[in-house]
């Protein structure tokens, strides 16, 4: 899965934040890159030292940093996988110290912080990449290609439902605070969804937003993005399970995709009675690693690939594959959503309850 | 001084709606408790003093109960959860100075098809054919024993078929319909001892405050007598099906294999739906593998098309007796706050909110 590289010396890497995303995704990806001789994890920092120690125990060259600043002396690249409200401070400090930075999504919890981060990248002439993993999923790339090739015709309707009861292993109730996470399901899953929409269709002309926050952070939301010819309706939930499915209808054909599925797509013609259920394959072979019909990356391999492509860019002195500007675009849309939010209609509430819900929703924490 | 109620199992559909109604109607200050922090995603729509504590961890519970006058035990689960959480919860409540523990039991302690004349004074058996009933009967007995040795008052609520948003009888039915697995035994003409979730929460509110009810159990239900057909029809039609589409399948033998019985237990089905998709996928794959090895080849073809009514559902769907709520009316002042037609209207509206393909 890891692309070959001409550079012999591994890139030295530090990581800040050793929680769930690091344990579940970054650690295996970094281990594969280490085995491929692409990187060497030198240092890890987490306020919970035990988490940092657990990560470092998997990497021979890694040591635990006592403070965040300790991460900044020596490594060429810092991966920021801390909770979102730390991103601005840590990314800016690392760029200023001369490191390239790969920041887990969301880039920041508001666009002014994100602006500052991009300014720091420009001033330091260092690379700022953002972890928007879905751009590395083969199925998401294929959808982009199909849209660009006008296979569907002009889009008429886009709809997606994503979510389900939350199962991401968070540390404490504090996670569900606007000050720590920047928001709820919109800030979390919504970052991925809005990024795909802007990647596939460009920036929306207008955004309409409602959620169910009543003093806390939203568990459900609905976003309607206006494009010149169609609307994209996004429904996100941390509450109830439905098929996590995208549906894109064009004038000629339609396409359906199960979110986070790297490999499979469904295609059909409008008015047709048949569906093409397709598994993606690589049609260009890497002579070292794969046969011509090798299956495409699944989610975990795609995650590894996004780190590898950033490291390759550092190796080659080129540009971040998914640069900070892309992360800023998404943060700006989320800012617009929260700035114009309405309380969702919750039809099971009595009139008295809904009145109080309205009052509470004006007072977000 | 405000009345603070710790809600154990605040991520469940009863616990969650209790927190919501408490917060929005202001009759008490809710303190949601869950076993894992991520389970707070829904209640944290509100800014609340939410806590993480395992209902078997007496020390964690004691800290979480401090400052609470009442504890609501709304933890769903298997036998070990039902019976294994009682002592830690009671002892922690005692140590934290809690005045009253409200325990959510079930009308099923009287059986799914209780004999005419049954009420709260009827003797309970823990030798019923449905294992869940027995666990709840034992739980009630265990709580009574704890009360005899402790200071915390016990009030037991015995709701029947709790319906409404997220319930097994609303969302579960919708899921079954969409999966082609819904059915009604005997055409659903049996009595459904239903209670809409808001009416149950109203009973919880009354049980938290009413004087002189220590040690008592209360049957609670909707105001109207309804059939299973009445409960199911709005959901069926909202999703574009017809009642005539629902099969009346043969009833499985009472002594079916354990795994098969578990698959048709509403509480387990609800717990299964709360699992992350990868875990559900693994369970489905494991069960399929088990069936593949167990079934003889000639059985397999038949099994693929077979729909059987569970013994529990068959008893429920053919229930001939409406449980009384006289005691709840007299001693709690209980009167349902939502009518049955309004309840099903809200349930259907929730289905649409939750992303089900409701036909306009």
Kindly state whether B270 is in contact with chain A, defined as any CB-CB distance less than 8 angstroms. no
Q: Of A171, A244, A345, which is closest to B37 when you measure between CB atoms? A: A171
> B174: which 2 tokens?
């919708």
Q: Please state at what angle helix B171-179 crosses helix B228-238, rounded to 10 degrees.
A: 60
Per residue in B157-201, pLDDT (tens digit) is 999 999 999 999 999 999 999 999 999 999 999 999 999 999 999
% of chain B surpassing 90 pLDDT: 82
Which of A25, A48, A170, A173 is most worth mutating to test chain B (most B CB atoms within 10 A of its CB)? A173
CA distance linking residue B268 with residue B264, whole number of Å: 8
**How far is Cα of residue A271 from the mean position of the Cα atoms in its chain?**
34
- Determine the distance in angstroms separating the CA of A219 from the nearest CA of chain B, rounded to an integer: 6
Q: Contact at 8 Å (CB) between B33 and B8?
A: yes
Residue with tokens 């894992």: B36
What Cα–Cα distance (Å) separates residue A233 from each residue in A157, A209, A248, B2? 8, 10, 10, 42
Residues in B touching A172 (Cβ below 8 Å):
37, 52
B42, B16 Cβ separation under 8 angstroms: yes
Q: Residue B143's CB: how many other CB atoms inside 10 A?
A: 25
Cβ–Cβ gap B38/A348 under 8 Å: no
Beta-carbon separation of A348 and B171 below 8 A = no
pLDDT value of position B2: 85
Provide the shortest C-alpha distance from residue B359 to chain A (in Å).
Answer: 16
Q: Which residues of A touch B357 (CB under 8 A)?
A: none
Check residue B1 and give its pLDDT.
55
Which band of pLDDT confidence, cut at 50, 70 and 90, is reported for residue B255?
low
Q: Is B276 on the interface with A (CB under 8 A)?
A: yes
Class of domain B4-162+194-221+323-338 as given by CATH: alpha beta
Question: CB of B27 within 8 Å of any CB in chain A?
Answer: no
Task: Find the mean pLDDT for residues B277-298.
Answer: 68
pLDDT band (50, 70, 90) for residue B298: low
The pLDDT of residue B259: 65
CB A224 within 8 A of CB A211: no
Of A177, A240, A357, the CB nearest to B354: A240
Cβ atoms of B162 and B104 within 8 Å: the answer is no
Q: pLDDT tens digits for chain A (365 residues)? A: 444 455 578 999 999 999 999 999 999 999 999 999 999 999 999 999 999 999 999 999 999 999 999 999 999 999 999 999 999 999 999 999 999 999 999 999 999 999 999 999 999 999 999 999 999 999 999 999 999 999 999 999 999 999 899 989 988 898 998 888 889 999 999 999 999 999 999 999 999 999 999 999 999 999 999 999 999 999 999 999 888 999 999 999 999 999 988 889 999 999 999 999 989 988 765 555 545 466 777 888 899 999 999 999 998 888 999 999 999 999 999 999 999 999 999 999 999 999 999 999 987 55
The number of beta carbons lying within 10 Å of the beta carbon of residue B10 is: 28
Domains of chain A: 11-134+313-322 (3.40.50.720), 135-298+330-343 (3.30.360.10)
CA distances from B139 to A224, A333, B10, B200, B240 (A): 49, 52, 20, 20, 41
B94 touches chain A (CB under 8 A): no
Res A1: pLDDT: 45
Task: Measure the N-to-C terminal CA separation of chain B; round to a whole number of Å.
Answer: 47
**Residue B296 has what pLDDT?**
58
- Count CB-CB contacts under 10 A for residue A154: 11
Nearest-CA residue of chain A relative to B21? A353
Range with lowest mean pLDDT among A165-169, B25-29, B50-54: A165-169
**Torsional sign, CA A317, A319, A322, A328:** positive
Q: How far is CA A183 from CA A67, A190, B82, B357, in A?
A: 27, 10, 35, 28
Q: Given pLDDT bands bounded at 50, 70 and 90, which one contains residue B309? A: very high
Chain A partners of B26 at a C-beta cutoff of 8 Å? 356
For residue A245, what is the nearest residue in chain B, using CA coordinates? B355
**In this model, does residue B301 exceed pLDDT 60?**
no
**Yes or no, beta carbons of B46 and A216 under 8 Å apart:** yes
pLDDT at B320 over 80: yes
Please say whether the beta carbons of B75 and B7 come within 8 A: no
Asked if A173's CB is within 8 angstroms of B36's CB, the reply is no
Separation in Å, CA of A351 to nearest CA in chain B: 10
Q: Please indicate whether, in this complex, the C-beta atoms of A219 and B21 are within 8 angstroms of each other.
A: no
- How many helices (H) does chain A have, and how many strands (E)? 11, 15
> Best of A21, A166, A247, A361 to disrupt the B interface by mutation (most B CBs within 10 Å)?
A166
Is the preceding peptide bond at A106 cis, omega within 30 degrees of 0? yes
Residue in chain A nearest B280 by alpha carbon: A241
Phi, psi of A253, deg, nearest 5: -145, 170
> For B333-340, what is the mean pLDDT?
98
Chain A: give the shortest CA distance to residue B198, in Å. 9
Closest listed residue to residue A239, CA positions, set B80, B11, B76, B148: B11
Q: Does B41 touch chain A (CB under 8 A)?
A: yes
Token pair belonging to A170: 């968070």
Which residue stretches of B26-157 are H helix? 58-65, 79-84, 86-95, 131-149
What pLDDT, on the 0 to 100 scale, is given for residue A258? 95
Q: Which of B38, B347, B355 sits opposite A168 (nearest CB)?
A: B38
Nearest-angstrom CA–CA distance, B195 and B13: 14
Is there a contact between B354 and A164 if contact means CB atoms under 8 Å apart? no
Place of tokens 């875990």: B279
CA-based nearest distance B15→chain A, Å: 14
- Say yes or no for a CB contact (<8 Å) between B24 and A173: no
* pLDDT given for residue B264 in this prediction: 59
Which tokens sit at B20? 């919501």
For residue A80, what are the β-bridge partners?
A16, A103
**Closest CA of chain A from B246, distance in Å:** 23
Q: Which residues of B touch A347 (CB under 8 A)?
A: 346, 349-350, 352-353
pLDDT for B257: 58
């Amino acid at each position: 899965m890891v692309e070959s590289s001409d550079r012999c010396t591994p890139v030295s890497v530090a990581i800040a934040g050793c929680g769930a995303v690091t344990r579940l995704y970054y650690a295996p990806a970094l281990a594969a890159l280490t085995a491929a001789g692409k990187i060497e994890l030198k240092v890890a920092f987490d306020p919970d030292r035990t988490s940092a120690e657990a990560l470092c125990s998997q990497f021979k060259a890694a040591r635990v940093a006592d403070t965040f600043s300790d991460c900044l002396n020596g490594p060429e690249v810092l991966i920021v996988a801390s909770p979102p409200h730390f991103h601005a401070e840590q990314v800016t400090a690392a760029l200023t110290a001369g490191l390239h930075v790969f920041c887990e999504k969301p880039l920041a919890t508001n666009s002014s912080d994100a602006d500052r981060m991009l300014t720091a990248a420009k001033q330091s002439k260092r690379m700022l990449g953002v972890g928007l993993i879905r751009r590395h999923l083969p199925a998401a790339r294929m959808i982009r290609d199909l849209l660009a090739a006008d296979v569907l015709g002009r889009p008429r309707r886009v709809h997606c439902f994503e979510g389900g009861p939350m199962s991401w292993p968070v540390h404490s109730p504090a996670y569900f605070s606007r000050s720590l996470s920047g928001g709820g399901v919109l800030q979390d899953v919504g970052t991925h969804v809005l990024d795909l929409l802007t990647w596939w269709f460009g920036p929306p002309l207008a955004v309409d937003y409602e959620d169910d926050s009543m003093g806390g952070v939203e568990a459900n939301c609905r976003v309607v993005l206006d494009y010149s010819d169609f609307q994209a309706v996004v429904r996100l939930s941390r509450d109830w399970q439905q098929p996590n499915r995208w549906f894109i209808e064009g004038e000629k054909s339609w396409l359906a995709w199960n979110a986070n599925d790297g490999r499979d797509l469904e295609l059909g013609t409008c008015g047709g009675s048949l569906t093409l259920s397709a598994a993606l394959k690589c049609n260009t072979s890497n002579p070292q690693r794969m046969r011509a019909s090798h299956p495409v990356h699944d989610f975990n391999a795609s995650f590894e690939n996004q780190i590898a492509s950033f490291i390759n860019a550092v190796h080659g002195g080129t540009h971040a594959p998914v640069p900070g500007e892309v992360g800023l675009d998404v943060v700006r849309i989320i800012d617009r959503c929260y700035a114009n939010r309405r309380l969702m209609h919750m039809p099971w509430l009595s009139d008295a309850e809904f009145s109080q819900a309205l009052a509470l929703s004006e007072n977000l924490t | 001084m405000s009345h603070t109620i710790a809600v154990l199992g605040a991520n469940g559909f009863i616990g969650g709606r209790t927190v919501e109604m408490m917060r929005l109607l202001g009759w008490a200050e809710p303190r949601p408790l869950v076993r894992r922090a991520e389970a707070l995603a829904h209640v944290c729509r509100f800014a609340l003093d939410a806590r993480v504590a395992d209902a078997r961890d007496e020390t964690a519970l004691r800290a979480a109960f401090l400052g609470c006058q009442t504890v609501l035990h709304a933890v769903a689960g298997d036998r070990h959860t039902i019976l294994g959480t009682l002592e830690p919860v009671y002892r922690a409540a005692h140590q934290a100075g809690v005045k009253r523990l409200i325990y959510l039991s079930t009308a099923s302690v009287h059986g799914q098809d209780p004999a005419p004349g049954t009420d709260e004074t009827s003797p309970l058996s823990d030798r019923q054919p449905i294992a869940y009933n027995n666990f709840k009967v034992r739980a009630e007995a265990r709580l009574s024993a704890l009360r005899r040795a402790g200071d915390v008052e016990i009030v037991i609520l015995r709701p029947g078929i709790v319906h409404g948003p997220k319930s097994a009888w609303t969302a579960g039915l919708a899921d079954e319909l969409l999966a082609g697995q819904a059915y009604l035994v005997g055409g659903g003409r049996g009595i459904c001892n239903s209670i809409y979730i808001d009416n149950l929460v109203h009973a919880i509110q009354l049980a938290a405050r009413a004087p002189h009810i220590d040690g008592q159990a209360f049957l609670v239900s909707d105001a109207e007598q309804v059939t299973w057909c009445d409960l199911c029809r709005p959901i069926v039609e909202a999703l574009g099906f017809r009642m005539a589409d629902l099969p009346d399948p043969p009833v499985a033998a009472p002594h079916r294999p354990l795994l098969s019985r578990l698959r048709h237990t509403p509480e387990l089905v609800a717990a299964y739906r709360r699992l992350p998709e990868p875990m559900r996928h693994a369970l489905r794959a494991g069960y399929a593998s088990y069936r593949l090895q167990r079934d003889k080849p000639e059985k397999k073809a038949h099994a693929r098309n077979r729909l059987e009514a569970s013994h529990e559902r068959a008893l429920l769907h053919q229930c001939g007796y409406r449980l009384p709520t006289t005691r709840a009316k007299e001693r709690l002042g209980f009167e349902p706050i939502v009518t049955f037609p309004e309840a099903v209207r809200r349930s259907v509206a929730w289905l649409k909110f939750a992303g089900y393909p409701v036909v306009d």
